[in-house]
A and B are shown apart, each in its own frame.
Chain A
């Protein structure tokens, strides 16, 4: 299957600061997505990362809070801005390929204090 590397794996951040999460996928992936998963909960799609253009956000998520970049086919970043404790969650990068469907990174466990 496709290989997805995500970092950092975890971080503890002060409220009001921002954290950028990086995601590197292998060349089999055509589409990239960012998900949020509260501990013990399901996955909620934040946005589709579009190469070279603005991401497509789902209802309830906005660019000012979760700016996303995808400068090329295999790399994307998600920034969680002006963090509050409510942003504490697991953030997952995923990629879609026609051969393997969705592949997920191992996630970034974010704690905001």
Chain B
């Protein structure tokens, strides 16, 4: 199946630092979503983006839908210890769908945030 290229795969953060991660694809998406997963739990939706160029914030989190509709990024400002976890991007294709079914989400492999030792 199709996949999104998410980077970096992992990163270490120190409290107070800003964090950036992004996802790219060879396909055009009409929706980009960002999720966070805490250890041992299911992912929780953070931000949803629906228009090219759209910039949306949720507290210290800011995400943008790329102009080309093939990428998205997520920024976390002034990180705190509870920001650790795995962040996933997800995209929804248009009419061409996925696996024959319109509308299924495609997920990146995740960016794992850990605290600097």
Q: Is chain B found bound to chain A in the same assembly? A: no
**Which residues of A are in contact with B by a Cβ distance under 8 Å?**
none
**Which residues of B are in contact with A by a Cβ distance under 8 Å?**
none
